[in-house]
Amino acid sequence: MGKIKEAKYVKVFCGLIYRDEELVGKVKEFLEKKWGRVDFEVGPFPFNFTDYYQEEMGKDLKRRFFSFENLVFPENVWEWKIYTNKIEEIFSENGKRKVNIDPGYIDFSKVVLLSTKDFYHRIYIGKGIYAEVTLYFQKGDFRDFPWTYPDYKTENYINFFRKIREIYKKSIK
């Protein structure tokens, strides 16, 4: 029988997809209310990996990432996606989102994303929310899976996760 161990605290991050740069500061305020001060930020990067959001949000979308200073216990993480969905609703216009917010977390060994969409590699975690490990850390760097989104395989994104993993290592001590 395995011995049950409590999980370690994790570092929260959010990826934003948006068009209007003026929106970023307002969204950031809501996110900081939940997870504390942003300690690292990257972007904007062009978001041109899919046209999935184009009908709803328009063309020339950008991606930006925030990570947060406060470490969080990874229990009831489904609450995070529900919270970010509410922020998306606040900034919606005529039923169309102006920002997409993807919350997740990083620990020593993995990057986890939260989603409302089910798929073969996602685990249901409650309240209509699913989690997936999208990158894993092995032999000194992040590795991807067949299901990892193409943008999460890019050097810009990997560099973000390398940096926040280093911040996490210093914070967890």
Residue 23 located in a structural domain: yes
Residue 1 covered by a domain: no
Whether residue 159 is contained in a domain is answered as yes
Domains: count for the chain: 1
- What is the per-residue DSSP string for 111-149? EEEEES---TT-EEEETTEEEEEEEEEETTEEEE-TTS-
Neighbouring C-alpha atoms within 13 Å toward the C-beta of 132: 18
> Which pLDDT score, from 0 to 100, does residue 49 have?
86
Task: Indicate the Cα dihedral angle 28, 39, 34, 25, nearest 10°.
Answer: -10
| For range 4-17, the mean pLDDT | 96
Between β-strands 99-106 and 110-115, what pairing exists: parallel, antiparallel or unpaired?
Answer: antiparallel
> CA 111, CA 93: separation in Å to the nearest integer?
31
> Does residue 120 belong to any structural domain of this protein?
yes
Mapped onto helix, strand or coil, the DSSP state of residue 93 is strand
pLDDT band at 157 (very low <50, low <70, confident <90, very high): very high
Entry pTM: 0.95
User: Is the pLDDT confidence value at 173 over 80?
Assistant: no
Side chain identity at residue 102, one-letter code: D
**With 80 as the cut, is the pLDDT of residue 8 above it?**
yes
Flag whether pLDDT at 50 surpasses 90. Answer: no
Q: For residue 1, what pLDDT band results from cuts at 50, 70 and 90? A: confident
